[in-house]
Amino acid sequence: MLVTVMSILLAYHFLVTRDFVRMGHPVQFGNDRIARIREYALSQKKYDVVFAGSSWMQGITSRFIPRNWFDLCLGGGSALEGCNVMLAANKFPKVLMVEASDRLDAHPHFHPVEEALSPCTIALIKLSPIFDLSYQPSSVLFGQLNMKFFGWLPATHTVRSIRRHYLVWKRNKEPLSIEDKARVRQGAIALRRRLKRIRKKQNVDIIILEIPRDKAIQNTKYVSEVNKILKSELSAREFYWFKPEGNNWDTVDGAHFTKDTAKVLARLVEAELVKHGVTSSGK
């Protein structure tokens, strides 16, 4: 048994180090964000702009703004995790754009940073690249097959009016409950603390993005109450807020943008960053 294990591991190590096996992107939900966290934390590369947010912003900037900017928006998480990654890696950009929304405590038990930057795993990766998620047999195989599991997901979906009606009904019927208010406030306070730490460590230009909401729910009491709390905890006197213009935002499910809307949002974000002194070459 041990002979088999050693033979397989050594053979795979040989194939990887001799470039017979080409790396691919991890295909599992969860491993993709761990790979992204490691990519940011372990590489020597410095980034001028980093985006921190949830799945709502994930992929939007990296796909539609062809620059050397880093997308730390993590599906299943929020801007808090992105900030945690920067603090754990002690690596900061010149400009940090964070998504502010009611998802700030999306999963209180979600700790991808500890998982991604576990010293044992990092030591193993340094020992041999075969322990890197990009060299997992599934990453290599599906990379070769050129199957895009994480293509622009919403583009393949049809806009479901039922789902949107459900959301509108829910959001209108249920304004922010006392518990939700406390939840959003706690999330905003946690984000404020992290942003202050980041600013203290290095003079990072922080932009808070007021995430546009689906046109069907943007005027509901729920959304206005969420924004009110966020702005009271992350006050405009301390942080620069950016609200993308327009009110015709379309989403596939009440939260995630359609491809066309995402392109518009990416253009507006890019224009705003240029205003902040980020030049067209990404510098």
Partner 1 sequence: MLFNSYEFLFFFLIVWVLYYAPGFRKHQVLLLIVASLVFYAWGAARLTFILLVAMALNSAISYLVDRSDSRKKAFILALTGVSINVLILASFKYAGLLTDTFVGFVQLPHSSLVDKIISVLLHMPLPIGISFYTFESISLVVDVYKGKTRSKTFLEHAAFTSLFLSFFPHLIAGPILRATEFYPQIKTKLFKDIQWDRAVHFLVVGYFLKMFVADNLSTASRWIDFPMFEGNSSFGIVVSLVAFSARIFADFAGYSFIAVGLGAMLGYDLPVNFKTPYISQSLREFWQRWHITLSTWIRDYMYIPLGGSRVVLWHVCLNLIVVMTLAGLWHGAAWGFALWGLFHGIGLCLEHLFRIPNTYGTWTVWSPLRIILTFTFVTLSWIFFKTSDFSQISYFLVTVFRSIKEPFELERFVYVLFFGTPVLLYHLMKCQPIANMLASITGKKYAPIFRGIAYGIMISLAILNAGPPYEFIYFQF
User: Whole-number minimum distance, CB 279 to partner 1, in Å?
Assistant: 38
| Binding residue for partner 1, selected from 110, 142, 152, 242, defined by CB under 8 A | 142
Grouping H, G, I as helix, E, B as strand and the rest as coil, residue 184 is helix
Whole-angstrom Cα distance, residue 213 to residue 32? 26
Pairing of strands 205-210, 49-53: unpaired
Q: Per rule CB under 8 A, is residue 106 in the interface with partner 1?
A: no
The candidate with the shortest Cα–Cα distance to 282, out of 64, 45, 65, is 65
User: Whole-number minimum distance, CB 138 to partner 1, in Å?
Assistant: 5
> Going by C-beta distance under 8 Å and a sequence separation of 6 or more, which residues neighbour residue 224?
none
Q: Per rule CB under 8 A, is residue 138 in the interface with partner 1?
A: yes
* DSSP labels, 157-177: SPP-HHHHHHHHHHHHHSPPP
Q: Per rule CB under 8 A, is residue 282 in the interface with partner 1?
A: no
| Binding residue for partner 1, selected from 22, 46, 126, 160, defined by CB under 8 A | 160
Tally Cβ neighbours within 10 Å of residue 90. 9
Show contacts with partner 1 in window 233-272 (CB under 8 A).
252-253
Show contacts with partner 1 in window 176-195 (CB under 8 A).
179
Q: Which of 8, 274 has the CB closer to partner 1?
A: 8
Strand partners for 63: none
Whole-angstrom Cα distance, residue 197 to residue 210? 21
Give the binding-site size for partner 1 (rule: CB under 8 A).
Answer: 39
Q: List residues near partner 1 by CB under 8 A.
A: 1-5, 7-9, 12, 27-31, 34, 115, 118, 120, 130-131, 136-138, 141-142, 145, 147-149, 154, 156-158, 160, 162-163, 179, 252-253
